[in-house]
Amino acid sequence: MRTSLWAILASTTILAGAAQAEEIIFAHGENPGNPRYVAAGMWAEVFTACTDGNHTVNVAPSATMGDDSEMLTSAAAGVIHITANSQGAMSQMVPELGLLGLPFLFEDLPTAWEVLDGEVGAMIDERAQAAGLKILGYWDNGIRNVTHINKHVSEPADLAGMKIRTPPGEMAIAIFEELGASPAPLAWSEVPSALQSGVFDGQENPLTNIYTANLHEITPYITLTGHMYEATPVAAGLGWWSGLDEATQECAIQATAEAGELQRRLSLEADEELRPLMEADGAIFAEANKAAYQEATQAVYDAYAERYPELVAALREAAGH
């Protein structure tokens, strides 16, 4: 019987280096138990070992260095060095990154990863560098599903008027506006309290994030819409990155790849392992009418294809459309 990695996540520790000139600050917004939290700790270990201890890593989790948008601004300004961030927040600085969230673009996670690790990922990195950021690699943030306080949203019409929290970034907002909902962005760290206070009827996220933030206990009706994919770009400040020697740059790339392999595996396993755990906590699952959802969001696809014809064409070809 395969041992579940989820059983050991809570015991994962952060590697924090002693304060010194060579200390690297690696910031992210997730809490213990989330694959991003686990991978950041592994990144620190791999990078420190690869540089023979010439660099140490201070991992700053749980949005202690600000929300995703603030961490990206800090990285570009050289206040922090690296952030494992969100597609929605980073798409505000690098709009092309948001195209990964085109509705129903990727059939499954491995397809998305293959695309990101190829030409498309390199094209997005070029745009990111123009915004002062260097993408070291793409971790995963899953295929997203909708949760609601008291009903399922199996049909697009069920979303009419729904107050739904989305990440920052125009793609998710465009999708839910097209579906007739009332979307609004909010920092991830503020979502649980906003749901509990009734500011929103629900939210959308991959099962991993829903479970590790206990959102299934607040919004127990989970509809497997699978409406969009999100990556977790691991981004370094370009100023800091450009000042590194080639060997140290290679260590950072290596650490991102090795930790990303674990992070992606955990994300993939979440779909198999988390549903029964969430159901045991009282969550109620339902399937969505995906054909109806795809038809209802076609206008979003068409609009972005007009704005970014080259990249959307590359994405469609790489994703097998």
Residue with tokens 């959102």: 215
CA gap 279, 277 in Å, rounded: 5
Residue with tokens 């009827």: 201
Mean per-residue pLDDT of the chain: 92
Q: How confident is the model at residue 186 (pLDDT cuts 50, 70, 90)?
A: very high
Spell 119-142 as b/e; 16+ CB within 10 A means b: ebbeebbebbeebbbbbbbbbbbb
Instruction: Please state, in angstroms and as integers, the Cα–Cα distance from residue 270 to each residue in 31, 86, 267, following that order.
Output: 16, 18, 5
Domain 8-141+232-272 in CATH 3.40.50.300? The answer is: no
For the domain made up of 145-228+277-318, give the CATH fold: D-Maltodextrin-Binding Protein; domain 2 (3.40.190)
Q: How confident is the model at residue 30 (pLDDT cuts 50, 70, 90)?
A: very high
Q: How confident is the model at residue 201 (pLDDT cuts 50, 70, 90)?
A: very high
Give me the percent of the chain exceeding a pLDDT of 70: 93
Phi–psi pair at 312, nearest 5 degrees: -65, -40
pTM as predicted = 0.88
And the tokens for 235? 């981004």
* Beta-sheet pairing, 145-148 with 202-205: antiparallel
H or E element: which one contains 209? helix 207-212
Residue with tokens 């590697």: 15
Examine domains 8-141+232-272 and 145-228+277-318 and report if their fold is the same.
yes
Instruction: With beta carbons less than 8 A apart as the criterion, state whether 232 and 138 touch.
Output: yes
pLDDT > 90? residue 102: yes
Instruction: With beta carbons less than 8 A apart as the criterion, state whether 176 and 166 touch.
Output: yes
Q: How confident is the model at residue 13 (pLDDT cuts 50, 70, 90)?
A: very low
Q: How confident is the model at residue 298 (pLDDT cuts 50, 70, 90)?
A: very high
* Domain layout of the chain by residue ranges: 8-141+232-272, 145-228+277-318
Instruction: List all residues 6 or more positions away from 169 whose beta carbon is below 8 Å from its beta carbon.
Output: 86, 87, 88, 89, 90, 91, 92, 98, 101, 185
Question: Tens digit of pLDDT for each residue in 57-93?
Answer: 999 999 999 999 999 999 999 999 999 999 999 999 9
Q: What is the mean pLDDT of residues 276-305?
A: 97
Instruction: With beta carbons less than 8 A apart as the criterion, state whether 153 and 160 touch.
Output: no
Angle formed by the axes of helices 246-280 and 35-50, nearest 10°:
160
Q: What is the pLDDT of residue 270?
A: 82
Instruction: With beta carbons less than 8 A apart as the criterion, state whether 84 and 232 touch.
Output: yes
Tell me the residue type at 277.
Answer: L
Q: What is the pLDDT of residue 121?
A: 95
CA gap 263, 240 in Å, rounded: 25
CA gap 275, 222 in Å, rounded: 10
Dihedral of alpha carbons 300, 202, 31, 2, sign: negative
Q: What is the pLDDT of residue 190?
A: 94
